[in-house]
Every structure is written in structure tokens, then in C-alpha cells.
């Protein structure tokens, strides 16, 4: 495994003086001390994304319209897909592999409520060692497959004291902490075939879809478990300190996680409509305490996601049905 920027993390390796990714593509040299960094946006040029998209559309015989990214423990969203064509990440050319528990590592293409969809059952996180451009590369693959709508889901810690474990927060905005630190999936030369050099991110989260989701939640009788709020992505993999959580709360953040924001940035850059929600899997303590049960842990995150998967699945499938009916 390569831990350096030259071959972009897990899956890459060094053979002799040469740095090689898992498909054998040479992407840098270890000769002498000179390592030329690859700007993030050049890791996956348009043509490579196009090749991956062709592999998916030809292999599935479909051009999906809606893309779904399953959050930790929310892989069952992809299990709803009918007549699924399944692509293991390892078998997709130039695709990274999933390394986190609760992220199966496969792309599922098929239909859901009549709409053509593709779902990532397993996403890529920055803390796995992948640069952000690689984490969100599949969003561009979705775009070139024909996807117009991105549904991004995640497990998150609730910072807003009104949030309870098991609640769902519809994202209407985000605070990009990795961006504050100068990291972006769009870093490096811009390819205008994807989108503009300086994309605007106000109104990134589609208001119509948020309103429809609220109506659906009412019809499901779960409106008291639904909130609209602000998500923030930190780099992880450690959970946050109390001081960090206090600071995030003061900044207006309602829920915190380690994903989604770079995917949304990539989706908005290529003009996809975005719907995203956080399943609140734990309440974040914002006061100092010795209580062990107030510490976040991934087992709890997974257990809560499993418990609430039915509600999440229903919300997603009903919303997809509305999108499909509106365009039928
Ligand atoms: O954001 P998703 O992938 O749902 O996962 C969340 O859960 C993990 C921590 O328990 C982190 O990866 C965090 O980002």
C-alpha cells in the first residue's frame, strides 16, 4: 500500500523506484528525492472517468438518472434496487476499494420505484488515505453515466441539543472544515467539461426536494423525528473533542461527520441536483463529563443505522417515486 500522495493511498504500491497504483499505472517516481505532486484534479482525468462510466453503462445496459451514496450502516438503501446489476469496486477499472466496516464496496445499478438508479454501497473517506478528489470521483462517474440527482446519506453525530438518536436531519447547508484548511476535491487545474473553475455553492441542497421530503415524513408519521440543518465534515478518523464540538455548535453546525461535503461539492460543480440527509446515530457531548457512554463509537453508529434503516429506505424510495412520477 502506498501512503504517499504519488499513487493516492490504499491500493497503490511501490515497486522498486516506481510508484504504481493498483491497476499498474505509473503515477510518480521515487528516484532520488524528487517527487512531483499530482494535483488532485489530475488524478482522474475526464477520459478515465468516461472509461469507468462506459464500463458501468455497458455492463448494466442502463443509464441511471438518480445516484445514491449509502452512509455507514445504510447499505440497505441499495438492497431496495430491483433487477440489480452489481459491480464489486475491485472489479471496476481504476476504482478505489472500500476499507471501512459498514461500507460493502459495490456499485448497484437497477430500478427503484420505476426510476433508473445507481447506488454506492460503500463510500470513500478522506481518513482512509484517499485524496478528496478520489473520494468524490464516483460522483463524476455518476454524472457521465447520466445521473441528474444525487442522494447522499450519512451517519452523523447530533450537536444540536434538540436532536435525538435515530432522528433524520435533512441537510440544507454545510460547513466545510476540510475546505477551511485548504483542501478541496476541485483542487488543481479545472476541466470545464465537468464544470466552472469557481462554482457557487449557495443553494446547493435542492429546496424542492427538502420540502417534498418533509411532506413525505409527515405522511409517514415521523415528522417529529425530522429536522432541517447544517452538517459539517471533519477529516476523522478520530471523533471530535468537546472543544471542537462546542466550536462547531457556535458556528451553527447541527450534525457532524466525516463525509458527504466533498461529494456535494463535486456534484454541484457538475450541476447535479442534490438531496442529502444525516441519520443521527449518536448525541455529541458538548460538556465535559467522565461518562464513557457519551463517547461516540462506530459500533453504536452501525447499530443505530441498522435500527433506522427502514425509515431511511422508505423516505428515499418515496422521494425517488415523486421525482420519477413528476417526469413520467
Ligand atoms: O459519513 P458516513 O460514511 O455515513 O460514516 C460516518 O460514520 C463513521 C464514523 O462512525 C465515519 O465514516 C462517519 O463519516
Number of CB atoms found within 10 A of residue 161's CB: 11
Please state the atom number of ligand 1 nearest to the C-alpha of residue 153: 4
pLDDT at 200 over 70: yes
Q: What's residue 21's pLDDT?
A: 45
Our CA dihedral for 228, 67, 313, 73, rounded to 10 degrees, sits at -90
227 a known binding residue? no
d(CA 243, CA 44): 37
Does the beta carbon of 258 sit less than 6 angstroms from any atom of ligand 1? Answer: yes
ipTM above threshold 0.90: yes
| β-sheet bridge partners, residue 153 | 277
Measured in Å, residue 31 CA sits from the centre of ligand 1 at: 37
DSSP string covering 246-311:
HHHHHTT--EEESSSHHHHHHHHHTT-EEEEEEEEEEEPP-S----GGGS--HHHHHHHHHHHHHH
Q: What is the pTM of this model?
A: 0.90
Residue 17 has pLDDT above 70, yes or no: no
Q: Which H or E run includes 27?
A: strand 26-29
Residue 125 marked ligand-binding:
yes
**Separation between Cα atoms, residue 227 and residue 246, nearest integer Å:** 20
Pocket of ligand 1 contains residue 127 by CB under 6 Å: no
Task: State yes or no: 324 annotated in a binding site.
Answer: no
Distance from the alpha carbon of residue 236 to the mean position of ligand 1, in angstroms: 9
Q: Please tell me which residue in 118, 119, 155, 177 is annotated as part of the active site.
A: 155
**283-304 pLDDT, tens digit each:** 999 889 877 667 889 999 999 9
Annotated active-site residue 174? The verdict is: no
Is 128 part of the annotated catalytic residue set?
A: yes
Q: Clarify whether 298 is annotated catalytic.
A: yes
Average pLDDT taken over every residue of the chain: 90
Query: Which ligand 1 atom is at minimum distance from the Cα of 74?
Result: 4
In the chain the domains, ranked by start, together with CATH numbers, are: 1-38 (no CATH), 42-327 (3.40.50.1580)
Whether 205 contacts 153, CB under 8 Å: no
Res 292: pLDDT: 64
> For residue 16, how far is its CA from the centre of ligand 1 (angstroms)?
36
12 pLDDT more than 70: no
127 catalytically annotated: yes
The pLDDT of residue 258 = 98
294 annotated among ligand-binding-site residues: no
Span 26-76, pLDDT tens digits: 444 455 667 777 787 788 999 999 999 999 999 999 999 999 999 999 999
CA 239 to ligand 1: nearest atom: 9
Which one of 13, 46, 127, 302 is the catalytic residue?
127
What is residue 32's predicted lDDT score, i.e. its pLDDT? 61
Task: Mark whether 142 is an active-site residue.
Answer: no
Residues linked to residue 55 through DSSP beta bridges, in sequence order: none
Is 123 marked as binding a ligand? yes
Cα(28) to centroid(ligand 1), Å: 31
Query: Which member of 14, 183, 298, 302 is catalytic?
Result: 298
Q: Among residues 44, 62, 89, 103, which one is catalytic?
A: 103
Closest CA to 73 of 314, 285, 309: 309
Amino acid at each position: 500500500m502506498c501512503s504517499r500522495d504519488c499513487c493516492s493511498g490504499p491500493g497503490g504500491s511501490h515497486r522498486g523506484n516506481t510508484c504504481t497504483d493498483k491497476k499498474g499505472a505509473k503515477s510518480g517516481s521515487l528516484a532520488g528525492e524528487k517527487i512531483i505532486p499530482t494535483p488532485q484534479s489530475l488524478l482522474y482525468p475526464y477520459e478515465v472517468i468516461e472509461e469507468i462510466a462506459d464500463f458501468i453503462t455497458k455492463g448494466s445496459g442502463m443509464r441511471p438518472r438518480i445516484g445514491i451514496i449509502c452512509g455507514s450502516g445504510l447499505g440497505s438503501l441499495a438492497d431496495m434496487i430491483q433487477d440489480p446489476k452489481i459491480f464489486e469496486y475491485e472489479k471496476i477499472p481504476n476504482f478505489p476499494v472500500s476499507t471501512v466496516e459498514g461500507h460493502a464496496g459495490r456499485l448497484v445499478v437497477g430500478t427503484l420505484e420505476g426510476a433508473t438508479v445507481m447506488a454506492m454501497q460503500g463510500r470513500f473517506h478522506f481518513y482512509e488515505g484517499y485524496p478528496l478528489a478520489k473520494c468524490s470521483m464516483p460522483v463524476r462517474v455518476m454524472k457521465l453515466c447520466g445521473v441528474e440527482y444525487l442522494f447522499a446519506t450519512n451517519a452523523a453525530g447530533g450537536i444540536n441539543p434538540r436532536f435525538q438518536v435515530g432522528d433524520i436531519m435533512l441537510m440544507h447547508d454545510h460547513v466545510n472544515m476540510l475546505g477551511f484548511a485548504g483542501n478541496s476535491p476541485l483542487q488543481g487545474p479545472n476541466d470545464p467539461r465537468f464544470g466552472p473553475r469557481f462554482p457557487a455553492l449557495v443553494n446547493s441542497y435542492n429546496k424542492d426536494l427538502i420540502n417534498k421530503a418533509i411532506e413525505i415524513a409527515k405522511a409517514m408519521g415521523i415528522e417529529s423525528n425530522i429536522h432541517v440543518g447544517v452538517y459539517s465534515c471533519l477529516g476523522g478518523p478520530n471523533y471530535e473533542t468537546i472543544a471542537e464540538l462546542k466550536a462547531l455548535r457556535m458556528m451553527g453546525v447541527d450534525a457532524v461527520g466525516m463525509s458527504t461535503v466533498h461529494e456535494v461539492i463535486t456534484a454541484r460543480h457538475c450541476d447535479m441536483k442534490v438531496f442529502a440527509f444525516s441519520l443521527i446515530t449518536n448525541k455529541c457531548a458538548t460538556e465535559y463529563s467522565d461518562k464513557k457512554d457519551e463517547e461516540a463509537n462506530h459500533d453504536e453508529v452501525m447499530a443505530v443505522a441498522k435500527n433506522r434503516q427502514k425509515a431511511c429506505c422508505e423516505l428515499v424510495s418515496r422521494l425517488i417515486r415523486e421525482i420519477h412520477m413528476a417526469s413520467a
